[in-house]
Copies of this chain bind each other. A is one copy, B any other.
Amino acid sequence: MPDQAIEKMSEEQIASGLEKRPQWSEIGGQIQRTYQFEDFVASMEFVRKVAEYAERVQHHPDILIRYNKVTLTVSTHDAGGITAKDFDLAEEADRLAG
């Protein structure tokens, strides 16, 4: 359902999405989570996996690496807000973080 996937979510839909991903929060029309790892190498390994997924689905989060912490920030530019694609990425990133 590509058309549906790119539709901007309502605040209610976002709130419901965040209930399933409690470590993510909405910040300025985007969703964001900071992950903490053992060290820089572990951070980079996670980023490598997220980047691979992002490129495959052509949906790219902003990625901030600060030694053992990685912050992902994501929204859907084409839709001007948060969409199901962002929550798909959040779900996959949570899975990749283990």
Contact = CB atoms under 8 A, between A and B. Distances in A.
A64 B67 contact: no
A12 to B, nearest CB: 29
A60 B47 CA distance: 15
Contacts of A64: 62-65
Interface residues of A, number: 15
Interface of A: 40-41, 44, 47-48, 51, 54-55, 60, 62-67
Given A44-B51, A48-B48, 14 more contacts: A40-B51, A40-B54, A40-B60, A44-B48, A44-B55, A47-B47, A47-B65, A62-B64, A62-B65, A62-B66, A63-B63, A63-B64, A63-B65, A64-B64
